[in-house]
């Protein structure tokens, strides 16, 4: 059991490293990601590499093709912004229901996740904040008490995970995100579904705008070129 847990942790860490290289343009669309080469580079077996690539494929970051393996997928800034628009709509629907339907337990879970975000913010730990931020949003989805909506919103949240992580590195974004969370919780606690939806929509849509700006700036930088 311990071995399986360790392997899952290795796969997750490897996925995070690879997804950052993809979203920052270090790995260009069309690049073939060779399992053996990656296993050698990261000093791991091919099994966690394969698992990481499968997770990246489920997030739409790579395509797994017969006889070619994993290929970095094409994702234009316009396409990504469209995905953030859909994400903002799903989140707004979730928080609107959460404001109306949440229980005291639901609210405590949201507040507990926010407290962890606050702690990560004070420590200046972007990666910890990203993971606690995920807990915060998942707690809101659960508080909607609509299982289908929760499943769909969670899936989209995971698909955009790499991009949400990257935009948190923008100057001042961690503080803004924390402050936006506070406003969202305030609206949920007050049962103001319209205000909660408005605030969470703005919270998510700005992530797409920040990410588009990041990609535009990264595209002007010289990045290492990899051969297929």
Report d(CA 143, CA 9) in Å as an integer.
28
Give the residue from 50, 185, 48 showing the smallest Cα distance to 118.
185
Count other C-beta atoms under 10 Å from residue 35's C-beta: 16
Confidence check: pLDDT of 3 > 70 = no
Q: What is the pLDDT of residues 71-125, one digit of tens each?
A: 998 777 777 788 889 999 999 999 999 999 999 999 999 999 999 999 999 999 9
| Residue ranges of domains in the chain, CATH in brackets | 2-75 (1.10.10.10), 77-217 (1.20.120.530)
Contact 27, 72 (CB under 8 A): yes
Q: What is the reported pLDDT for 22?
A: 83
pTM of the prediction? 0.76
- 80-84, 114-118, 129-133, 143-147: which range is least confident on average? 80-84
What residues contact 132, with CB distance under 8 A and at least 6 apart?
113, 116, 117, 119, 120
Q: Band the pLDDT of 1: cuts 50, 70, 90.
A: very low
């Amino acid at each position: 059991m311990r071995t399986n847990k360790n392997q899952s942790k290795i796969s997750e860490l490897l996925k995070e490293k690879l997804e950052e290289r993809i979203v920052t343009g270090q790995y260009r669309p069309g690049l073939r990601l060779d399992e053996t080469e990656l296993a050698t580079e990261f000093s791991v077996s091919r099994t966690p590499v394969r698992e990481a690539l499968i997770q990246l494929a489920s997030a739409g970051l790579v395509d797994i093709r017969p006889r070619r393996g994993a290929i970095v997928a094409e994702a234009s800034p316009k396409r990504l912004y469209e995905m953030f628009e859909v994400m903002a709509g799903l989140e707004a629907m979730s928080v609107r229901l959460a404001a109306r339907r949440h229980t005291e337990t639901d609210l405590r879970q949201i507040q507990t996740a926010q407290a962890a975000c606050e702690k990560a913010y004070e420590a200046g730990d972007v990666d910890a904040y990203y993971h606690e931020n995920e807990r915060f949003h998942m707690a809101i989805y659960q508080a909607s008490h609509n299982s289908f909506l929760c499943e769909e919103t969670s899936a989209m949240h995971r698909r955009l995970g790499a991009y949400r992580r990257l935009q948190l590195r923008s100057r001042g974004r961690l503080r803004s995100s924390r402050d936006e969370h506070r406003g969202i919780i305030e609206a949920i606690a007050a049962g103001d579904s319209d205000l909660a939806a408005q605030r969470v929509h703005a919270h998510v849509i700005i992530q797409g705008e920040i990410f588009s700006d990041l990609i535009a700036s990264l595209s002007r930088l010289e990045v290492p070129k990899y051969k297929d």
